[in-house]
Amino acid sequence: MSIDLAKCSLGIEFGSTRIKAVLIDEQFAVVATGAHEWENRLENGLWTYSQDDIWNGLHDCYADLQRDVKEKYGLAITTLKAIGFSAMMHGYLAFDKDGKLVVPFRTWRNSNTHDASEQLTEYLQFNIPERWSISHLYQCILNKEPHVKDVAFFTTLAGYIHTSLTGQKVLGIGDAAGMFPIDSTKMDYDQALLDKFEALIKPYGFPWSTRDLLPKVLLAGQDAGTLTAEGAKLLDPTGTLQAGIPLCPPEGDAGTGMVATNAVKVRTGNVSAGTSIFGMIVLEQSLKQLHREIDMVTTPDGMPVAMVHANNCTSDLNAWVNLFGEFAELSGHKLSGNDLYGLLYRHALEGDADCGGLTSYGYLSGEFITGLDEGRPMFVRTPHSKFTLANFMRTHLFASLGALKIGMDILVKDEKVKIDSLLGHGGLFKTAGVGQQFMADAINVSVSVMATAGEGGPWGQAVLAAYLVDKAQGESLSDFLSHKVFAGAESSTLAPIPANVAGYEKFIERYKAGLAAEKAAVAAIADEAE
């Protein structure tokens, strides 16, 4: 087997626990990978990764990719068609005029920005989550941190890597949307909101304007610079990699997820369902009202995206499956994980449309959408509920979508957002036709699941790198994905079943009514681990 590295594109994504490199060929197939495991650390009350963590992690990940290419193809990587970097979004990396980091990197995970988030949301009348970069900056201002006057540039993790390798202070629009609100009619930061923010901080007398601190916004496919000689040595300390390779705009993990699931077209979306769950819907226009439950980001080509994120999805469901697995083993019938999940999930399809009056809350942690700071997993039934195994499993599957459903209803019922299709991915969809059907019934829209999920975010970033070079004149990202990347991709689609849609609506009303009991449980029952 042979490959032409000059025709291959590389995507490297910095996740919260793993840095992953994916190299793809002209057919967008994965030809080599590399990885590095890492963990954030709590220092002085804040979650961070050091600069050494970042660069040593990148070097190890890239060296692992080099080894894979050498072993498979006998080649050394001297050049590539294009490179792209992506990372977990948001956070705060602030630098002075000499490019020195003025405080340790503050990641998206930090919640010390509560006051800034609340005040900015109220003042700007735009939802500004705690993890957004502007929340971090404003919290530093509120805290009177001395470094703020010295800030000359701030960016995200992907932006930091890209700037270090190219010298270009730019950011893909999807990642930029997690720094400061975006105006999708102008494909840039919202100038009216920037002006309001400037007025808010004017009394502090800082020697900078906020726009000057922010990286330049770029769309997918736009020139984001090339790998400098210094950048090549930063990425590959062995000196084998040559300068001059084009880099695509750096993106956030939300944008690469959209690309990896072919969900960048208006009125489409994707739902990732595992330990947590989030849905992202590409909008025809911005939302009419402020909703604290909805985060606004964009696709990598700048279309507005509404994101509903819930902390809890399958954790409690998995716990119940494991309990039944214990019983099966105790009875002398040990089942594999796939067999156990398949048996119980498929049996849930036999349950009553509304779960027979059963209710569950799979809250291992708090849930912002439903107003809970903590969670207590809880199952509830009335004396006359239809307590069967099928209804029991159906209830927990329905409940895993409960918080997402409430957020999605704000979009569909209150904002009248139109959704033509959803793409589902994640552990909930592993048992064919079950989680997929329940998702279709809950949201009342067709849900597709691809036969292969690829390599996720880093693969999506590699595709964005390829788009930079391979796009035809005027070819949109949506057309490039549909006609070239995903042409012929195997998938299955399930439409909502009207009787089940009605059943889920009945379930969610019972679920919402019972939230008072869940809140009472949090108040009354202490978590002994704490």
What is the helix (H) or strand (E) element at residue 69, kind and residue range?
A: helix 51-73
Reduce the secondary structure of 396-434 to three states and give it as a string.
Answer: HHHHCCHHHHHHHHHHHHHCCCCCCEEEEECHHHCCCCC
- Is residue 29 within 8 A of residue 459, CB to CB? The reply is no
**Tokens standing for residue 244:** 């001059």
- Burial readout 402-434 (b: 16 or more C-beta within 10 A, e: otherwise): bbbbbbbbbbbeebebebebbbbbbbbbbbeeb
Calculated CA dihedral for residues 320, 516, 375, 441, nearest 10 degrees: 50
Alpha-carbon gap, residue 346 to 126, rounded angstroms = 42
Alpha-carbon gap, residue 349 to 365, rounded angstroms = 28
Nearest CA to 152 out of 96, 83, 69, 74 is that of 96
264-308 pLDDT, tens digit each: 999 999 998 888 898 999 999 889 999 999 999 999 999 999 999
Cα–Cα distances in angstroms (integers) from residue 508 to residues 20, 348, 441, 512, in the given order: 38, 17, 12, 6
Alpha-carbon gap, residue 252 to 60, rounded angstroms = 21
pLDDT at residue 452 in the model: 59
Backbone angles phi, psi at 278, to 5 degrees: -145, 150
Residue entry with tokens 């499993």:
393
**Tokens standing for residue 22:** 């994916």
Nearest CA to 195 out of 177, 180, 173 is that of 180
Alpha-carbon gap, residue 388 to 356, rounded angstroms = 8
Q: Which residues contact 245 (CB under 8 A, 6 or more apart)?
A: 79, 80, 81, 82, 83, 226, 227, 232
Backbone angles phi, psi at 464, to 5 degrees: -65, -35
346-400 pLDDT, tens digit each: 999 999 999 999 999 999 989 989 999 899 999 999 999 999 999 999 999 999 9
**Tokens standing for residue 6:** 């000059």
Nearest CA to 489 out of 462, 451, 460, 448 is that of 451
Bridging pattern class, strands 447-450 and 491-494: antiparallel
Beta bridge partners of 188: 183
Alpha-carbon gap, residue 191 to 88, rounded angstroms = 25
Calculated CA dihedral for residues 39, 105, 221, 174, nearest 10 degrees: 90
Q: Which residues contact 4 (CB under 8 A, 6 or more apart)?
A: none
- Is residue 72 within 8 A of residue 1, CB to CB? The reply is yes
Nearest CA to 508 out of 423, 389, 412 is that of 412
- Is residue 481 within 8 A of residue 264, CB to CB? The reply is yes
Alpha-carbon gap, residue 29 to 22, rounded angstroms = 10
pLDDT at residue 300 in the model: 97
pLDDT at residue 455 in the model: 65
Amino acid at 17: T
Cα–Cα distances in angstroms (integers) from residue 401 to residues 87, 439, 524, in the given order: 26, 7, 25
Q: Radius of gyration of the chain from Cα atoms?
A: 24
Cα–Cα distances in angstroms (integers) from residue 256 to residues 237, 271, 295, 370, 502, in the given order: 27, 13, 17, 28, 34
pLDDT at residue 110 in the model: 87
Q: Which residues contact 483 (CB under 8 A, 6 or more apart)?
A: none
Alpha-carbon gap, residue 27 to 73, rounded angstroms = 17
Name the pTM for this structure.
Answer: 0.88
Low-confidence spans in the chain with pLDDT less than 50: none
